[in-house]
Structure 1
C-alpha cells in the first residue's frame, strides 16, 4: 500500500531545491544528451548483424543529406538500420522519457516519492485490451488493432478509477490511489484469466510476453502516436512547472498562493493517464522506470520541475535504450522481455528508497 506523504514545511521551496543541485545544470544536460546519443548508437549498431559505429552514422547522414556521404555499404545493411533498428531505438527513447516524466509529475501530485506511473491502474487496463485482441485474434484494423485496443483499455480503466474515486464531485489523493491500486489488481486478474483460458499456448505465450514489456517488431507506423503524446504531454507539464513546484510546499501553502489543488490534480491525472495509455499500448507494461529516474535526477539538479523535467526525460530515454540493448544481447538470439530487466533493477532500488525514507 502506498502511503500518502505528510505535508512538508512551506520552506521547501523551488529555490531551495535548486540550490541543492550538486552538478551545474548545463553540464548535466550535456552529459545526459551524450548518454542518449551513445546508447542510441550502440542500440542501432549491436545486434545479430553488428555494424561499425561509423557506418551507422554514415547511413543516417546519407539518409538525411544524400550528397554529404558516399554510400559504401550494402542495401541490406541500410535496411537493417533504417527500417528495423532506428524505429525501435527511437521508440525506446520515447517510452523511457515518457514514463520518467510521468513518474516525476505523479510523485509531485500525490506527494509521495514511492509513486509510480502504473499507480492509476491504466497499465492494467491497457493490458486487458491487448490480451483480448491476442486471445480473440482480432485483426479488424491490421497492425493497429493491438495498440488501439490497449489504448481503449487504458481509457476505460481511467474512467473506472475516476468513478470510484469521486465523491460529491471531489476527489482526494487517498481515494484516487486506493481506487487505482484496487482497479489495477482486478484488471490484472482479468488479463491472467483470459490468458489461462485461451486454450492456445502460442496466444498465451504472446500475451504473457506482451504483459512483461517489449519493443520487438517496432515499425515507423507505431512510433508517431506515442511520440506525439509524450512530446505534447511533456510540453504541458513544463508549462505547469510552477504549480507542480507549489505542491512540494504542501497543499495548504499551494492553495494559499492561489492554486486550485483539486482541479489541477484532476487535470494532470487525466494527462498522465493518457500519456501512459499511449505508451503502454505500444510497449507493454514496463515498471519501475518512472520510479527510479526522478530520484536520480533530483540528486543531480534538485526538485525544481523546470530543470528536472528535461533532465529526467533524457535520463529515462538513455536508460531504456540501454535496457533494451541488454534485453536483446544477454541471451542472444533469444530476447528477454524488457520489463524483467527493469524489475530486476527497480526492485532493489525500491527497497533501498523505502529504507532510506524510513530512516529519515
Structure 2
C-alpha cells in the first residue's frame, strides 16, 4: 500500500541527505561551521563567487578528506540498500540481505585470496580486486540459494546464509594466519570491520557506475519484478521467465555488494533495514521502492559514519560496528514478529 507520494518522499530524503552530509563535513578533529563548509565547496566549484574567509588547511580537510568520505558513504549505502531491496523483492523474503546471505563474507574471502596469496593478481590490473569481490559475492549467493531453495522457508535462507558466511569467514582467517605478511593482515581485516576512512576519489568510479547502471536496470524491469510477488507460476502466466529474471537480479545484487565490499569492507545490515523503511514509506512496488531505498541507504550510512567518528572522539570506531548494532536489533525484532508464522 502506498503511504506517501514518491516525489515528496524523494525530495524530503534528498534534503535529509544534504543535512546529514553538512553535519558530516562540519564535525571532526577540526570543526568547520556548516556555512563555511558550503562556501568552501562553492568556491571550489566556482572560484571567485564567494569571499575567502577560511584557511587553506580547512579547505584541504573539506575537499580531500571529508568530502570523499561522505560521497563514498552515499554510494556504498545506496548500493547496499538497493541490493537488499532487490534481493527481498525477487526472493519474496523480508530477511534477504547481502550480509545475512553470506555475500559480504564470500566477497571478502576472494579479495583476501587476491591480496594475500596473489592468485589472479595483476591479470586484470586495477580491476582484479573488484572482479574478485564480485565473483566471491556471486558464489556465496548461489550457494545459499541452492541450499535454501530446496526448503523455500525464511529459516532455511537465514541459516544457509549464516552457514556460508561462517565457511568463508573461516577461510579468511586461515588465509590471514597462514599466509599474510607485513600489512596484508591489516588490509584483510579492513574488510572484516568495514570502514570509510580510506576513501579516495579514484576508488569511487566503479561503485558509482555499478550503482547507476543497477538502479537504472532495476527501474526499467520494475514492473516485471513486481510480477514475481504472484509466485513463479503466476509470473510465468503473465509472460515473465521467473528463473531467468531472478538469476539476473541476483547477479546484480552480487555486483552491488561485491563492489561495495571492495571499497568499504563488510558493512552489515544496511540491506536489511533500509528496504523495510522504504517499503513503509512508499509501498512494495519496485518502481517506487528501489529509488527510495537507494536514497535512504545513502542517508543512513552518512549518519552512521558520522556517529562512528564522533561518538568516542578523537578515536574512531568502524562504521560496520554502528550498522551492526542498529541492524542486529532490527533483525531480532523482525524474527520475533515472525515467531508465530510457519518457517
**Residue number among 26, 42, 49 corresponding to 1:61 in the alignment:** 42
Aligned alpha-carbon RMSD (Å): 2.8
Please list, as runs of the form range in 1=range in 2, the aligned pairs for 1:1-12 lying within 5 A after superposition.
Answer: none
What is the match of residue 11 of structure 2? 30
Give me the whole-angstrom Cα distance separating, in 2, the residues matched to 1:159 and 1:296.
29
What is the DSSP-based 3-state SS (H/G/I as helix, E as strand, rest coil) of the residue aligned with 1:117? coil
**Residue number among 264, 269, 272 corresponding to 2:245 in the alignment:** 264
CA drift at 1:185: 2.7
CA drift at 1:82: 0.8
What is the match of residue 149 of structure 1? 129
Give me the whole-angstrom Cα distance separating, in 1, the residues matched to 2:182 and 2:340.
47
Sort the Cα spacing of 1:160 and 1:305 in 2 relative to 1 into closer, same or farther, 3 A.
closer
Give me the whole-angstrom Cα distance separating, in 1, the residues matched to 2:18 and 2:136.
37
Alignment partner of 1:295 is 2:295: no
CA drift at 1:358: 3.0
TM norm structure 1: 0.84
Please list, as runs of the form range in 1=range in 2, the aligned pairs for 1:251-330 lying within 5 A after superposition.
Answer: 251-330=232-311
Q: Structure 1 stretches of 5 or more lacking a match?
A: 1-16
What is the DSSP-based 3-state SS (H/G/I as helix, E as strand, rest coil) of the residue aligned with 2:273? helix
CA drift at 1:247: 1.4
> What whole-Å deviation, never above 9, does each CA across 1:68-99 have from its counterpart, x for those lacking one?
21222111111111111111100000111111
Give me the whole-angstrom Cα distance separating, in 2, the residues matched to 1:39 and 1:232.
25
Between stretches 343-352 and 193-202, larger displacement belongs to 193-202
Give me the whole-angstrom Cα distance separating, in 2, the residues matched to 1:173 and 1:310.
31
Give me the whole-angstrom Cα distance separating, in 2, the residues matched to 1:74 and 1:124.
43
What is the match of residue 5 of structure 1? none
Give me the whole-angstrom Cα distance separating, in 2, the residues matched to 1:338 and 1:105.
23
Sort the Cα spacing of 1:173 and 1:89 in 2 relative to 1 into closer, same or farther, 3 A.
farther
Q: Is the 8 A contact 2:78 2:295 kept in 1?
A: yes
Q: Is the 8 A contact 1:286 1:338 kept in 2?
A: yes
Give me the whole-angstrom Cα distance separating, in 1, the residues matched to 2:307 and 2:198.
17
> What whole-Å deviation, never above 9, does each CA across 1:151-171 have from its counterpart, x for those lacking one?
41431452476489679xxx8
> What whole-Å deviation, never above 9, does each CA across 1:268-318 have from its counterpart, x for those lacking one?
111211111111100000111000001111111111111121111111101
Q: Structure 2 stretches of 5 or more lacking a match?
A: none
What is the match of residue 167 of structure 2? 186
CA drift at 1:197: 3.4
